[in-house]
Each structure stands twice: as C-alpha cells, then as structure tokens.
C-alpha cells in the first residue's frame, strides 16, 4: 500500500511540541498548499492531540520524506528534534492507525465522537484543493465508515466522554462539589459547547461564556443557559469566577502573566483553577507560578482518561476485531486497485485479438443474419472472459510483496500498461 503517515500526538509529544504543530482550521488551506510543494496528494489531520500528514508517494517513490519535510518546515525545528517525537508509518500500518483513530481508540478519551467530524473536514478541505486522489479518498471514507460502524455495533462511545467533559471532571477532582462555583468558559466553539453542557450536568451554579464576538457567546448560552460576554470583558469576569476552562481557537495567549497578575491582585485570597485544553494553549505556562492560581493543561487529563480506557477495555477488543476485518477488506480492494492498469491492458489486448479474428472469420462465412452475428459475438466474448477469469482473480487477490503475479502476467502476455 503506497501510503505514508508522519505525525505527532499525545503519546509521542508533550503539549509544548504539539501546539507548535497544530494547524488552525482557517490556516489548513495554506498548510495544504505548503504540503503540495512536497507531495501532489495529501491530507492533513490536525486536532488538539495530533497533527498527522497522510500522503501518497509521487513519481520519485518517496514515502516519508514529503510528509516529514512538511512537518519540519511547519514546525521550524531541527530534524533531530522532530525525530524524537514523530512517528512514521507506511502501508498497512498507516491505514490501521487511521482506522483506529477514526474508531476513537487513539484518542486521549477513548470513544470520543469529535474525531469523525474532524476527519470529514480534513478530507473535505484537501478535496477542495485537489489534493485527494482515488486511493486517498477511499482510505479516508473507509475510516469514517468504520468509525460510524464501531459506534453503532459496540459500546465504545456509550455515555460518551470528550476532552471537554474530562476537563470538567478534573475540576470536580480539584474542587469537589461544583454547585457553588462560577465557571468561565473561554471559547464558544464545539469544545466550549461540550464544556458548557458537562458543567451544566455537574450543577455549576453559574456559567459565563466568553468569545471573540459576544454574538457567538450568546448563541451558546441561549441553548444551554449562562451569561455571554466578549473577550474584552475577561478581566471583569476573571475577578469573581472559581474555574476557568480555556478552549478557544486563538493564535496567541489569551491569559498571559501580566493579565493574570492584575486579575489576582483584585482577588488575592480567592483561589482560581484554570484548565487549559486548547492547542495551541490559551494560557501562558508561567501563569502557574502565580499565588493561588492552579493551572492544568490538556496533558494533565491523562489520569482521568486512563480510567476511562480501563472501563472500556472489553469494548476496545470488540472494536479491534472490527478493524482487523475491515483491514482485510481494504487490503483486497488495494490489491485490486493496484493491478487495475494491468488487468485493463490484459482485457484490452484479449479484446483486440478476439475482434480481429472474429472479423476475419465472418468474412469467410456466408452472409449472417443480425441474430447469428449477435450470438457469434456473445460466444467469442464469453470464451475470452472465461479464459481470463482465473488469471484476473489471482491478480486481484494474490498478495505478493515483490509483485510476482503482476510481473509474470506482463511478461506472459507481453503487455504495455501505458498503451491501454
């Protein structure tokens, strides 16, 4: 399988590295154009916990170099540093990883739903820029279909968690009962919506949602309750809240040391718990050094996430069985796809021979009726199809790393694939 994956995720790199590689949705098109200079076909999947580049090698046969060069350029870090954190998967291993990712097995929170929407958007954006060929499209569409299937046929997403809901669970572990707490959510996107819902379910007394535009915050609070505000009013809201969950898609820190020093001077004895689940991070790490500030980032959710993983081990095994069966189906499709030019050449060559000999034979026969000509045509076609049926089936199904079957067929039939 000529597919290569180069990426980093929560298993291989800390958030300080992942945030450098993260690509905001509005910048994805520009990133794909940069990738195009390295590979003609590719898809970039960038979420809070991973940045992965899937490519189909070009004419030069380079597997990992195109994706690796893109990540190195995008991250602007030395190759030796990238090698410490990146994983490079090729062929079936890359496909299996994508299938596991779509099924929620590679997520920080096992079984989370958000990845399916992120996969669809990654494919859609790459398609809009002409970066997706048939194999890449089939791989991603298969992954999305498998992701839906495992959630329908297993309990992997029963009582679904998400990074956002785990963030609220972390707040519970730190503070205990949240019913007397005021929570400020920074960010009104999908992550903010999930935080707000989880906080409401946990009985948080008051929820404030801050966004770049108050209209977005208002839309969310109208659905789930709470108080909308804009980012311009952060200092006022920070002065009285107990918990901050930051999950905004922002290119720079929204809460830096200077802003938080001013905030804490207004509330010196009131502790503030900040949970930053944004990648890139919304909160400057040095904020953790301020008195009475307790800062947690997305990597601090791992303990709760591991509990979720242990609870779902039985379902994980069910999902892995589905993935194994789907991988076998995909391998069969890939084998058939790989030899399609050869099969087309074989069938075309056989059809040329059939037609030539049929025409010469008909000229030697007494004049035939249309019905007789039709039956003669069908008979000769059936003979060709019958003779080639088993060779074609073997080409589609016989898996051989050195392409023995394909090479033998080309030699035996003296086929030129480019001619057809």
Catalogue the active-site residues.
48
Alpha helices in 86-189 (DSSP H): 92-102, 114-128, 134-153, 163-175
Closest listed residue to residue 123, CA positions, set 109, 102, 103: 102
Instruction: Return all residues near 234 (Cβ < 8 A) that are at least 6 apart.
Output: 184, 186, 210, 254, 255, 259
Q: Count the Cβ atoms, other than its own, within 10 Å of residue 200.
A: 15
What is the residue whose two structure tokens read 């930051």? 246
**Does an H or E element contain 67, and which?**
helix 65-75
Q: Are strands 227-230 and 243-246 parallel, antiparallel or unpaired?
A: unpaired
DSSP 176-192: S--TT-EEEEE--SHHH
d(CA 107, CA 328): 23
Instruction: Return all residues near 289 (Cβ < 8 A) that are at least 6 apart.
Output: none
Q: Count the Cβ atoms, other than its own, within 10 Å of residue 87.
A: 16
How many H helices and E strands in the chain?
17, 10
What is the SS3 assignment for 6-23?
EEEECCCCCHHHHHHHCC
């Amino acid at each position: 399988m000529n597919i290569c994956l180069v990426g980093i995720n929560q298993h291989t790199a800390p958030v300080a590295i992942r945030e450098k590689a993260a690509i905001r949705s509005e910048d994805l098109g520009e990133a794909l154009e940069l990738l195009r200079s390295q590979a003609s076909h590719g898809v970039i999947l960038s979420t809070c916990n991973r940045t992965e580049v899937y490519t189909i090698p070009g004419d030069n046969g380079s597997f990992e170099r195109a994706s690796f060069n893109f990540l190195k350029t995008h991250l602007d870090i030395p190759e030796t540093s990238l090698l410490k954190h990146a994983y490079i998967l090729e062929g079936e291993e890359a496909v299996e990883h994508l299938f596991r990712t779509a099924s929620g097995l590679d997520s920080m929170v096992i079984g989370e739903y958000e990845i399916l929407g992120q996969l669809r958007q990654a494919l859609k954006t790459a398609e809009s820029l002409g970066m997706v060929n048939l194999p890449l499209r089939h791989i991603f569409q298969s992954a999305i279909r498998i992701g839906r299937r495992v959630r329908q046929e297993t309990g992997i997403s029963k009582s679904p968690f998400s990074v956002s809901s785990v963030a609220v669970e972390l707040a519970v572990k730190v503070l205990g009962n949240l019913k007397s707490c005021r929570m400020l959510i920074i960010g009104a996107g999908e992550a903010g919506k999930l935080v707000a819902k989880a906080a409401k379910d946990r009985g948080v007394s008051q929820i404030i949602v801050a966004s770049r535009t108050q209209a977005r915050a208002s839309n969310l609070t109208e659905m789930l309750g709470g108080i909308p505000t804009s980012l311009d009013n952060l200092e006022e809201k920070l002065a009285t809240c107990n918990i901050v969950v930051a999950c905004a898609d922002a290119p720079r820190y929204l809460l830096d040391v200077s802003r938080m020093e001013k905030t804490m001077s207004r509330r010196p004895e009131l502790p503030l718990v900040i949970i930053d689940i944004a990648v890139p991070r919304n909160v400057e790490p040095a904020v953790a050094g301020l008195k009475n500030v307790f800062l947690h980032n997305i990597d601090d959710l791992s303990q709760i996430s591991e509990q979720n993983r242990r609870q779902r081990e039985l379902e994980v095994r069910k999902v892995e069985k589905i993935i194994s069966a789907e991988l076998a189906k995909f391998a069969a499709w890939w084998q058939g796809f790989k030899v399609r030019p050869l099969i087309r050449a074989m069938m075309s060559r056989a059809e040329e021979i059939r037609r030539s000999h049929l025409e010469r034979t008909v000229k030697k026969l007494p004049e035939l009726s249309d019905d007789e000509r039709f039956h003669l045509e069908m008979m000769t076609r059936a003979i060709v199809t019958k003779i080639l049926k088993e060779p074609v089936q073997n080409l589609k199904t016989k898996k051989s790393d050195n392409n023995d079957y394909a090479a033998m067929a080309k030699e035996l039939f003296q086929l030129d694939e480019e001619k057809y």
